[in-house]
Structure 1
Amino acid sequence: MAGGQSEREDKVSLEITEEILQSMEVGMAFRDYNGRISSMDFHRTSSYLVTASDDESIRLYDVANATCLKTINSKKYGVDLVSFTSHPTTVIYSSKNGWDGMLSEQHFMRVWFTCNHELFFFLIGSESLRLLSLHDNKYLRYFKGHHDRVVSLSLCSRKECFISGSLDRTVMLWDQRAEKCQGLLRVQGRPATAYDDQGLVFAIAFGGYIRMFDTRKYEKGPFEIFSAGGDMSDANVVKFSNDGRLMLLTTMDGHIHVIDSFRGTLLSTYNVKPVSSNSTLEASFSPEGMFVISGSGDGSVYAWSVRSGKEVASWMSTETEPPVIKWAPGNLMFVTGSSELSFWIPDLSKLAAYVGRK
């Protein structure tokens, strides 16, 4: 990361307080979606944000100027999860319509597919991941192998590789420069996946546990297995904090677990309304890792202090499903996506009133 970006994140990390969180409100909203936002991602070093929506659109925003730069429709394949590559106008996204429209259900065929010298079969019409240039709306590469919905997608920030998890109970490791997967891991449940910031470790969560893998020798199996405190409900999202010291895991039963990523110690658990099997409970660390913000099954948003484990802020909603939620890198801002895209920033008038009371 460039020095300027690092300095900016350090500066922001010193400024985030409970009072700032409590003052945050929607400063800008885009309400022109015709479906729920299913995924979004910030580019690490630019001011760009990308969203994916059930209206089968991918939208690119310039956050600094609060403008939508481009809308690209993926009517044929649909779009579910989306993530930036290292390039600010290139993304990888998963299809949502299923089977890529290749064959009807009556004509599925079993064929053999080689992945890292291991043979397994999948149904033609497999779920694809696509490398898309937003600049000219061109597909640069297709990544085929999963044969059910992809529910987790994590890109490595230091290398051109990524990991995907599917309801077909496989986790695949990919190189952006190759169409065939570079590795395959079988799991016994719905997988949630994540790389750490250094790209040295990745995590796979399912069945009440988080399994930690060394990227250089993942085929030997996990080097650590951490318990999620007895929570056996389906894993939704697993993430590392920016400094890699903490992890969070969300589950379908409405639990957000914060875990020490070195010791495996369960530090705290926050509870929100459970989510349906078609929804995903997403949470996000603040840039310095001192706070966690999360959606809820009733559409609300909550914030907790990692240090105290206490709820420090909440925002009620008229929505009925959990919003996707991301904290903007190096900014006093987080973004939620539901039927609209909302940018949350501190209300300076509330902060001024707080300073006056002090």
Structure 2
Amino acid sequence: MGCMIVFGLFVGGPDGEDKVSLELTEEIIQSMEVGMAFRDYNGRISSMDFHRTSNYLVTASDDESIRLYDVSNATCLKTINSKKYGVDLVSFTSHPTTVIYSSKNGWDESLRLLSLHDNKYLRYFKGHHDRHGLCLLVYVLEQIVSFPALLIELFFFGIKELINVRLASCICLYGLLRVKGRPATAYDDQGLVFAVAFGGSIRMFDSRNYEKGPYEIFSVGGDVSDANVVKFSNDGKLMLLTTKDSRVHVLDSFRGTLLGTYNVNPVSSDSTLEASFSPDGMFVISGSGDGSIYAWNIRSGKEVATWMSAETEPPVIKWAPGSLMFVTGSSELSFWIPDLSKLAAYVGRK
């Protein structure tokens, strides 16, 4: 059974306040099309992130801009340029208008904590040189005597360093994991475990005892090519891994059972193949080497939809949390929503 998800028809102005309850099905997936596109980028979108509890989306682009969107009404709220440092990867912190991003200028690849509200840098984190991945996890550390109930951000950068960043004037190295090759990393939503993918396998770590090494190592069907991205489903029961071999693997995150492998058109060596779970974990959507987008039903393993594109590289792709919408980023930003006029079940209710 799919889950019942409420999504808003925000495209088209004031009428976007209407809400419709729909179950995510193959028919819904097949009806999805671009409801709004932002074509004012002067470079490819390199990264984007949804805030967990607000309606905000942030993007980073090769045109050295960071842009904040309100997805509930499909509007760009703010554009901030990072011409001096460049920008590659971007991610929200727990605060809806504070992000951390990596530089991209060849001489200063520090991480920067930026307030989008007033365009001010709150912290700089130096000493990083690899831009392989950036994911954030929020913890409340009540046991810290000098900072009761202190909210800190725990993040991976390039998965080679795990940093404990206090919202004070100090930073301490929390841990260091050295790996061979290009790794990909992800936390589960509860922050209990994290995954490190490289060399044809996924290593599972307990975030509280990671120094003891992985508690499980999962094989990914003989695909030993470099990892691109690894992600958990919202409920933490599944993981997906994309690789340079242009494959999307889906695994059971508890047993490591390989549930399916999906092949897409070849991806160039300097591109990243990205994929995303639907909110209910029933479907996977992915980019492809020719810019096309694919969707598969995880339970049946069947391809349920394909959208062709004039692009020549795989897009950045993310499903909006708890919504019937996914977003793709390439030379433009596109919001994909169901076309209700194509849905017999909905039309019959009107």
| Partner SS state of residue 171, structure 2 | coil
| Partner SS state of residue 156, structure 1 | strand
Match of 1:175 among 165, 169, 175: 165
Cα deviations across residues 116-149 of structure 1 (Å, max 9, x unaligned)? xxxxxxxxxxx311111001111111122322x3
Matched residue, 1:220: 212
Matched residue, 1:122: none
Cα deviations across residues 312-343 of structure 1 (Å, max 9, x unaligned)? 00100010010000101111100000000000
Match of 2:121 among 124, 139, 148: 139
The structure with the greater share of residues assigned to helix is: 1
Matched residue, 2:250: 258
Cα distance in 2 between the residues matched to 1:143 and 1:293:
33
Deviation at 1:280, TM superposition (A): 0.9
**How large is the RMSD of aligned CA atoms in angstroms?**
2.1
Match of 1:156 among 137, 144, 148: 137
Cα distance in 2 between the residues matched to 1:17 and 1:47:
23
Percent sequence identity over aligned pairs:
81
Question: Aligned pairs, how many?
Answer: 321
Task: Indicate whether 1:337 and 2:329 are aligned.
Answer: yes
Q: Is the contact made by 1:242 and 1:288 (CA closer than 8 Å) also made in structure 2?
A: yes
Deviation at 1:66, TM superposition (A): 1.1
Matched residue, 1:211: 203
Deviation at 1:299, TM superposition (A): 0.4
CA 1:12–1:292: 2 relative to 1, 3 Å: farther
Cα distance in 1 between the residues matched to 2:85 and 2:175:
25
Q: Is the contact made by 1:268 and 1:309 (CA closer than 8 Å) also made in structure 2?
A: yes
Deviation at 1:236, TM superposition (A): 0.5
Match of 1:277 among 258, 269, 281: 269
Q: Structure 2 matches for 1:59-70, cutoff 5 A?
A: 59-70=67-78
- One-letter amino acid matched to 1:97: N
Task: Indicate whether 1:198 and 2:190 are aligned.
Answer: yes
Deviation at 1:352, TM superposition (A): 3.2
Task: Indicate whether 1:19 and 2:27 are aligned.
Answer: yes
Task: Indicate whether 1:301 and 2:293 are aligned.
Answer: yes
Cα distance in 2 between the residues matched to 1:44 and 1:243:
14
- One-letter amino acid matched to 1:213: F
Cα deviations across residues 198-233 of structure 1 (Å, max 9, x unaligned)? 011111111111111111111111111111111111
Deviation at 1:197, TM superposition (A): 0.5
- One-letter amino acid matched to 1:170: K
Gaps of 5+ in 1: 1-5, 101-126
Cα distance in 2 between the residues matched to 1:223 and 1:317:
41
- One-letter amino acid matched to 2:84: K
Cα deviations across residues 136-167 of structure 1 (Å, max 9, x unaligned)? 111111122322x311111115553333243x
Q: Is the contact made by 2:5 and 2:21 (CA closer than 8 Å) also made in structure 1?
A: no
- One-letter amino acid matched to 1:341: L
Cα deviations across residues 25-60 of structure 1 (Å, max 9, x unaligned)? 000000000000000011111110000000000000
Matched residue, 1:108: none
- One-letter amino acid matched to 1:144: K
CA 1:174–1:300: 2 relative to 1, 3 Å: farther
| Partner SS state of residue 341, structure 2 | helix
| Partner SS state of residue 182, structure 1 | strand
Deviation at 1:243, TM superposition (A): 0.2
Cα distance in 2 between the residues matched to 1:354 and 1:269:
33
Deviation at 1:76, TM superposition (A): 1.0
Task: Indicate whether 1:81 and 2:63 are aligned.
Answer: no
Cα deviations across residues 49-86 of structure 1 (Å, max 9, x unaligned)? 00000000000001112111100001111111111111
Gaps of 5+ in 2: 8-18, 141-151
Matched residue, 2:60: 52
Match of 1:96 among 85, 91, 104: 104
- One-letter amino acid matched to 1:138: K
Deviation at 1:174, TM superposition (A): 3.4
Matched residue, 2:143: none
Cα distance in 2 between the residues matched to 1:351 and 1:222:
46
Q: TM-score, normalised by structure 1?
A: 0.85
Match of 2:302 among 310, 331, 336: 310
Deviation at 1:175, TM superposition (A): 2.6
Deviation at 1:89, TM superposition (A): 0.1
Q: Is the contact made by 2:5 and 2:22 (CA closer than 8 Å) also made in structure 1?
A: no
Q: More displaced, 345-354 or 264-273?
A: 345-354
Q: Is the contact made by 1:236 and 1:249 (CA closer than 8 Å) also made in structure 2?
A: yes
CA 1:291–1:158: 2 relative to 1, 3 Å: farther
